[in-house]
Amino acid sequence: MPISRRRFVKLGAHAAFGGLLVYTLRGIVLPQSTPRAADAEGNSAYDQYRPGDHDWAFVIDTMKCIGCGRCARACKQENNVPWEPQCNRTWVERYSFTGDGEVTVDSPAGGINGFADEPLPEEVRGKKITKSFFVPKLCNQCDNSPCVQVCPVGATYKTADGIVLINRDKCIGCRYCIQACPYGGRYLLPDEGVADKCTWCYHRITRGRLPACVEACPVGARKFGDLRDPESAVSKILAERNVSVLKPQMGTKPQAFYLELDGEVV
C-alpha cells in the first residue's frame, strides 16, 4: 500500500506524541517506588541517605602506616572477601629502597597478616636499606574511571556521591574492567564469577559510619570524609597539606589522596 511522505511523517509525529503521553501518564499514575523491606538492623538507613549531598574522599598517610595489615584483615571480614585465592579490596605494599637506586615492592598476601614474619624480598636482602615505608592501597573511586568506561554491559557505574559500584546482576565476568584499572583494584569473585572491588564500605558510609579499614587502622593512616563538609578532616587536609594521587598521568582523577607520597610509588 503506497503511502505519501506527508502522511508518513504526520503519522509518525502522532504516534510519537501518543507514546510519550502514555509513557508519561504511566509514570504519574503508578507509584514511583515500592516500599522497601527494612534491613537486618531493623532500619533502612538508605531511605534517609541522599547521595547527591555527599562527595566522599579518602586520605592515606604513608608516613604513619606501620604495615600491620589490620585494615586488609578487617576489610576481608567486613565484605566477605574470599581468603583464597588471593584477592583484596584493600592491601598494603612495602617499598624498600637500597643505596644503588633500586626500588623493591612486596605485598605478601596483600599484607593481611602484616609484615613482621615476612622477610624482605630477595633483591634487597643483605643490602643496606636507605629508605622504606608502607603504602596502603584501595579503590581510588576515580572521577574519570577507566573501569566504568570499558564495561561492555554497563554493569559498573558511578553514584552521585562518587563511589564506583558494580551491579552483580548485570556483570558478565568478562574481566575487561580488571585489565582497565591502572591500580589493580579489581578482581573476579571466584564463586560468583563477577568483578568485585572496594566500595569504601558503601554499606557503612551510607549509615554514617567509617569504612572498616579506617576504623581498624590503629595509627590513623587512613582518613575518610566528606568534601562537601569544609570542617571534615579530609577537607582540611586537602586544603592545607601536600597531597598527591597515584598515577596522575593516567587522567583518572582519583578521589583517594596520599599525604607526603614518595615519587617512586606507583
Partner 1 sequence: MLVRAVLAVALLATAGLFMRTVTASLSVEVIGLTHEDNPRWWAERPVNNQSSAACADCHEAATEAAAASAHATVNCDSCHGAAREHIDLARSGQKAPLPLADARDLCTSCHAGLASRPADFPQVDPVTHGAPANGVTSSCTSCHNPHDPGFPPVVKHQLEGRPDCLACHGPDQWQPVPPSHADRTGDSCLKCHKPGEGA
Residues 43-72 that bind partner 1 (CB under 8 A): 44-46, 49, 51-52, 63-64, 66-70
Tell me the sheet residues that pair with 133: 95
Look-up: residue for cell 624480598?
A: 121
Q: Name the segment binding partner 1 (CB under 8 A); options: 155-163, 184-192, 235-243, 249-257.
A: 155-163
Burial class (CB in 10 A: 0-12, 13-18, 19+), 171: buried
Which of 119, 248 has the CB closer to partner 1? Answer: 119
Q: 28, 29, 32, 84: which one contacts partner 1 (CB under 8 A)?
A: 32
Which of 182, 262 has the CB closer to partner 1? Answer: 262
Spatial separation of the C-alpha atoms in residues 215 and 209, rounded to whole Å: 9
Q: How far is the CB of 76 from partner 1 (least distance, A)?
A: 9
Q: Is 184 in the site for partner 1 (CB under 8 A)?
A: no
- Contact criterion met (CB below 8 Å) for 77 and 87: no
String of contacts with partner 1 for each residue 101-140, x by CB under 8 A: ------------xxxxx--x--------x--xxx------
Which of 78, 143 has the CB closer to partner 1? Answer: 78
Q: Is 39 in the site for partner 1 (CB under 8 A)?
A: yes
Q: Is 220 in the site for partner 1 (CB under 8 A)?
A: yes
Spatial separation of the C-alpha atoms in residues 156 and 162, rounded to whole Å: 13
Tell me the sheet residues that pair with 47: none
Which of 7, 248 has the CB closer to partner 1? Answer: 7
Which of 218, 251 has the CB closer to partner 1? Answer: 218
Q: 54, 89, 94, 222: which one contacts partner 1 (CB under 8 A)?
A: 94
Q: Is 22 in the site for partner 1 (CB under 8 A)?
A: yes
Tell me the sheet residues that pair with 257: 59
Q: Is 157 in the site for partner 1 (CB under 8 A)?
A: yes
Cell reading at 115: 609484615
Residues in 235-264 that interact with partner 1 by CB under 8 A:
none
Q: Is 167 in the site for partner 1 (CB under 8 A)?
A: yes
Q: 33, 35, 101, 152: which one contacts partner 1 (CB under 8 A)?
A: 33
Q: Is 234 in the site for partner 1 (CB under 8 A)?
A: no
Which of 8, 248 has the CB closer to partner 1? Answer: 8
Cell reading at 165: 559500584
Which of 84, 116 has the CB closer to partner 1? Answer: 116
